[in-house]
């Protein structure tokens, strides 16, 4: 399996469709649900989410969200992955 880490980089925030996504702040409620959730994170070359977190895929970005609070703990820009 090839590592695709070089295709991603972390950032602190992005905006999409009038919503602001910032590390350390809650994700907008509509983006916390199953519609955006990534279940095949390993196939996409993402690290396993910590316990109580999940990856979401939003406008070409992978967003790590704490399930209990909705707080964004990581944002990975991944346009080069082609997902």
Q: Residue 8: its pLDDT value, please? A: 61
The domains of the chain are located at: 5-81
Q: 82 is written with which tokens?
A: 């082609």
pLDDT at 2: 42
CATH of domain 5-81: 3.10.450.160
Block means of pLDDT (10 residues each) for the chain, 83 residues, are 52 82 94 94 94 95 95 82 46
Nearest in space to 62 (alpha carbons), one of 3, 2, 18, 9: 9
Tell me the longest C-alpha to C-alpha distance in the chain. Answer: 37
Those residues with Cβ within 8 angstroms of residue 44's Cβ, 6 or more apart along the chain or in another chain = 38, 62, 78, 81, 83
| pLDDT given at position 82 | 47
**Does residue 21 contact residue 15 with C-beta atoms inside 8 Å?**
yes
Q: pTM for the complete prediction? A: 0.80
Strand partners, 19: 16
């Amino acid at each position: 399996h090839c590592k695709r880490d070089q295709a991603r980089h972390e950032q602190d925030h992005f905006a999409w469709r009038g919503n602001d996504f910032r590390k350390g702040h809650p994700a907008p409620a509509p983006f916390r649900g199953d519609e955006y959730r990534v279940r095949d994170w390993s196939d996409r070359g993402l690290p396993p989410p910590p316990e109580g977190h999940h990856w979401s895929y939003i406008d070409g970005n992978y967003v790590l969200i704490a399930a209990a609070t909705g707080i964004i703990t990581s944002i990975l820009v991944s346009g080069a992955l082609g997902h």
